[in-house]
Amino acid sequence: MRLTDFTLPELGENISAGDVLRVLVKPGDTIQKEQAVLELETDKATIEVPSSVAGQVKEVKVKAGDKVKVGQAILSVEDGAGAKAKADEVPPKQDSAQSEPAKAEAAPAKVGGEGGKSEPAKAEAAPAKSGGESGKPADQKVPDVQPDIQAADQSTKPDKEGVRDPSIGPQAQSGGDDDMPARGRNVVDISRGARAPEPAAVAAASPELPPAPAAPSVRRMARELGVDINQVAGSGEGGRISIDDVKAHAKRLVEGGGRSGGAAAEPLPDFSRFGQVERQPMRAVRRKTADHLSAAWATIPHVTQCDLADVTALEELRKKYAKQVEAAGGNLTVTSIAVKIVAAALKVFPQFNASIDLAASEIIVKKYVNIGVAVDTDRGLLVPVIKDADRKNIVQLSVELAQLSEKARTRKIALEEMQGGCFSISNLGGIGGTYFTPIVNAPEVAILGISRARMEPVYNKESGQFVPRFMLPLSLSYDHRAIDGADGIRFLRWVCEALEQPFLLALNG
């Protein structure tokens, strides 16, 4: 029977790993292709991972709580296929005098023993050669480890996890070919993470590492960003490096340089000296949020401008039409109204609907309008994206926002529903507060923060008296590399005026 490893497939754009929530199969189960075998939490969503192989599960290699990467082996399946073919490929047994030197030539071996015999490990990558002298195994030249691994990589197509290496694991025992499959399960990972052994090992094994597996366009991107391609860990099959891998590596370098000039973080004190503590692992969403916002704060020169919008008239209209929107399946909220207003503002101020490409020294202006809305969940902050917000009315936006928010909170939101945003909105008004500094959700260049509206006395020039008005605090953060301060306040005032005069939105489109 042939054992096949099922490895974690590609999960989506910029997603290289996830946390195992549940393993849905156990050893002995028979599974079919496309059957869900794993429930995985990524930094963006919770998904069920379907199997790409069928057969009987022999070994499950992960458990709940493990962090697994794309390409990592999840389970081993005995599919029963290819057993006869494999048996036909096994060469006839040879006597000890003929086969042992050939085995030593096929793989690194421990040389020695009585009577000139050696105990080399068998290698699946290279078939044994017949012939040779049995009396001189001690003179057999043992090839270096690194060239053997490189040769195996070039001569055979590796699995996602790597290739079999007879130099890893138990020594081959004396006997026939019947025990080859058992020894063949010893696996060495030749992904990018394993390409860089200790300096001494490199010097002894090979004068230089094999070329990094990357396309010319990826190498060009690395040169433009000043990144050594050989230092980038590839997430693709066989350690292949993508443009996203290069960008992620550059981001890590920037993060390190952005904190005290690249100095290591100050070590934490022993908090248990002051009282009882509990260490809790960071969940995938929290880790991603920490990494993403740290990079944004370190690389983007933030400016935050604040203003107040008089939403007294808007609040009356919101209450008046709330039932109508509710009947359609949505909630008429300040957030859904703000989505419509911001979508219109991006048409007036296109520099806010852009991204910066420093590598190409260009500003990418988008011709579509997708608005992300931050949603508070028990797993952390998620940002579903409403696509083509400029083409939808407020009722449609309210319904879609309610649906996306529910999906985010119940862990049913898809990855594509949180991608492609142009501008983000974060509304903390339901909790409280006045103003805050929202962090730009890179690669976007601006984000609008909404706080809690409240009744405040506002001076009326016509009557000469203070009158109560329902005032909404707004905070606009933007990337100063793409947006000037004057444009920032113009944008914010446009939003305020659209909130204060709802007819203005219909008038200007």
Catalytic annotation, residues: 480
**In the beta sheet, which residues pair with residue 376?**
381
Could you give the residue ranges of the DSSP H alpha helices within 349-464?
A: 394-409
How far apart, in whole angstroms, are the C-alpha atoms of residue 167 and residue 188? Answer: 9
Separation of alpha carbons 86 and 70, rounded Å: 29
Judge whether 250 and 218 are in contact, CB under 8 Å. no
Phi, psi of 54 (to 5 degrees): -125, 150
Whole-number Cα distances in Å, 386 to 126, 161, 292, 348, 441: 55, 37, 21, 19, 15
Q: Residue 452's Cα: distance from chain center in Å?
A: 34
Query: What is the rounded distance in angstroms from the CA atom of residue 187 to the CA atom of residue 322?
Result: 62
Taking only Cα atoms into account, the Rg of the chain, rounded to an integer number of angstroms, comes to 31
The residues, ordered by sequence, that sit 6+ positions from 270 with a Cβ below 8 Å of its Cβ are: none
CA distance 483 to 351: 7
Q: What is the distance between the alpha carbons of residues 441 and 375, in angstroms, rounded to a whole number?
A: 14
Cα–Cα distance measured from residue 125 to residue 105, given in angstroms and rounded to the nearest whole number = 12
Q: Tell me if residue 349 falls in helix, strand or coil.
A: coil
E-strand ranges in 331-433 read: 354-357, 362-365, 371-373, 375-377, 380-382, 385-386, 423-427
For residue 454, give the 3-state DSSP assignment. strand
CA distance linking residue 497 with residue 308, whole number of Å: 10
Is the four-CA dihedral 35, 40, 42, 46 of positive or negative sign? positive
The rounded distance, in Å, linking the Cα atoms of 302 and 482 is: 11
Structure tokens at 35: 């059957």
- Give the separation between CA 210 and CA 207, rounded to whole angstroms: 10
User: How far is 51 from 343, CA to CA, in rounded Å?
Assistant: 41
Strand partners, 23: 38
